[in-house]
Amino acid sequence: MKAIEILEPGGPDVLQICDRPDPVAGEGQLLIRVKAAGINRPDVVQRMGLYPPPPGASDIPGLEVAGVVEALGAGVSGFSVGDSVCALVPGGGYAELCVAPVETCLPVPEGFSFIQAAALPETYFTVWSNLFDRAGLAAGETLLVHGGSSGIGSTAIQLAKAFGAGVVTTVGSDEKASFCSELGADLVINYRDEDFESRVAEYTGGAGVNVVLDMVGGNYIAKNITCLAPDGRHVSIAFLNGPQVELNMLPVMLKRLTLTGSTLRPRDNAFKGAIAEALKENVWPLLAKGAVKPVIDTVLPLMDASAGHALMESSGHMGKIILEI
C-alpha cells in the first residue's frame, strides 16, 4: 500500500510517500480501505519527534480515517465487509489501508461523504470526552474555548450550542471572528485587538464562565483562571504556548475551581469505545439532521500531506484539513 512516513524528526518536508506492507486485521480490529484521513495537531507534534506513537501503534501518522471495511478480524461483530465507517485510530491513518479497533469505529453518518466523515473522529471524541464527560458542561452554562476556528474549536462551539450552553471564543483575525459567529458563538474576541479577560468580565457581568477548554497553555492559564466563575472547570488539552506556568493558586481555592486535562491517544479501547457509544447516541443524530457539521477548510491528495502540515502550522486554516486517498 501507499502511505506517508516520517523520514526523521523535522519540518513538513520530512513527510514522504512510501510503499508499506498491507496491514492485517487482528483480533477485535477492522481493516479499512481508507478514502480520507484527517490531519490533526498531534500528527504535527509526532512529525517533530515530540509525540511518539503508543506501544503497538503504527509509526505512520494519522489519527482518524473514513473508508470501507475491507476485512474483519477475529471476534468482530456489528460491522460487515463493505460497510462505510469512520474511525479513531492510534496511528496509521495516512495510508491506503488502516486497521482500527472495533470499539472506535462508527458508521458514516447518513448523507455524509467520506471527506466529511474523516473530519469527525479526532475532534468529536476529544471534545465530547473533555467538554461533557470531564468538565460536565451543562445547558445554561457558558464555555470559553480558545482557537474557535480550529477543528477542535469549531466542534466545541457547535456541540456546546447544540446542548444549550453559551459560547465565548477567541480568534486571531476578523475573518475567523465572522466564521465563529456563523457557527453560533455568542461572543467572539479577537485577541490581537482586545484583552479577553476584560471582555469576558464585561460580557458576563463579572460572573465569569463555567468551563474553559484550553489548547494554548502558557500565560493563558492564569488568564483563564481569572475568567472562571465559582466552581468553574478548566480543561487543558494542548499547550501551544508551553506546559510550564507559574500560578497564583489562591483564586483556585477561593472560587473552588477544578483544573484538569487529558490526552486521548494513549487511553485504552474500552475508554474510547464508551465515547464512541455516547457520540452514536447523542451526536450522530444531530449530524444526520444537519444540526452540527464538520467544517472542512482544505482537501489535499495523500501525496501532499506535507502541504497540509505546513498549513496547520501556519494557523491559516478554519476547520479541518483532510487528505483524500
Q: Rounded to an integer, what distance in angstroms lies between the CA atom of residue 307 and that of residue 300?
A: 8
85-105 pLDDT tens trace: 999 999 999 999 999 999 999
Domains and CATH numbers, the chain: 2-120+265-324 (3.90.180.10), 124-261 (3.40.50.720)
CA 178-184-185 angle, to 5 degrees, is: 70
292-303 pLDDT tens trace: 999 999 999 999
236-288 pLDDT tens trace: 999 989 999 999 999 999 999 999 999 999 999 999 999 999 999 999 999 99
Look up the pTM and report it: 0.95
Contact 131, 160 (CB under 8 A): yes
Residue partners of 105: CB distance under 8 A and separation at least 6: 30, 32, 79, 85, 86, 87, 276
- pLDDT in the model for residue 137: 98
Q: Rounded to an integer, what distance in angstroms lies between the CA atom of residue 302 and that of residue 318?
A: 20
CB neighbours of residue 302 within 10 Å? 20
- Comparing C-alpha atoms, which of 182, 185, 155, 151 is closest to residue 169? 185
Pairing state between β 142-146 and 209-214:
parallel
Contact 95, 34 (CB under 8 A): yes
Q: Rounded to an integer, what distance in angstroms lies between the CA atom of residue 86 and that of residue 98?
A: 11
Q: Give how far the C-alpha of residue 262 lies from the chain's centroid of Cα atoms, to the nearest Å.
A: 12
Q: What are the cell numbers at 137? A: 458542561
Q: pLDDT confidence of 152, banded at 50, 70, 90?
A: very high
Question: What are the CA-CA distances from residue 277 to residues 128, 132, 180 (Å)?
Answer: 11, 14, 28
